[in-house]
Amino acid sequence: MKHKAEFILSIINASLSALGFIVLIFTSVLYNNPQIKAQVDANTAQGVQNAIIISSLFILIICILSFISIFIYRKGKNVTAISIISIVVGAITIILTQFLSIILSAMLIVTGILGLVRRKKVPVTFEQ
């Protein structure tokens, strides 16, 4: 069975998460600038920088998972496993980043649900 929708959603998610990771790293470097730290309270700048680093790590995990799922959906094998992993990682990321990466996580969850719904059905036989 072809998983074209999951494949396309994984490509979009991987692209957006890679772009988000680059932007967050750039923002982290920007907050490390001494002129910005002088304008903003030092504790605030440090707290924002820590939040940015944590969010960027979770977005990097989403990016890596999306790249892996691109290849798995293309082959069509182990779709159930990557779908379950996508749902779990998406839910954990929404909770741990306090809804900062809700779009990427929601796309990951939708991709996982689509992968589970569209898997091959195995007929159930009852023997007596």
Residue 80 lies in a domain: yes
- Structural domain that includes position 76: 4-117
Measured at the alpha carbon of residue 2, what is the angle toward residues 12 and 74, in degrees to the nearest 5? 55
pLDDT at 99: 80
Q: Residue 110 in 3-state DSSP?
A: helix
Residue 123 lies in a domain: no
Asked whether residue 93 carries a pLDDT value surpassing 70, the answer given is yes
pLDDT at 128: 63
Residue 125 lies in a domain: no
Give the chain's domain count. Answer: 1
Residue 112 lies in a domain: yes
Residue 124 lies in a domain: no
- pLDDT tens per residue, range 60-76: 999 999 999 999 999 88
Q: What's the mean pLDDT in 105-118? A: 92
State pTM to two decimals: 0.83
Residue 127 lies in a domain: no
- Are 69 and 111 a contacting pair, CB within 8 Å? yes
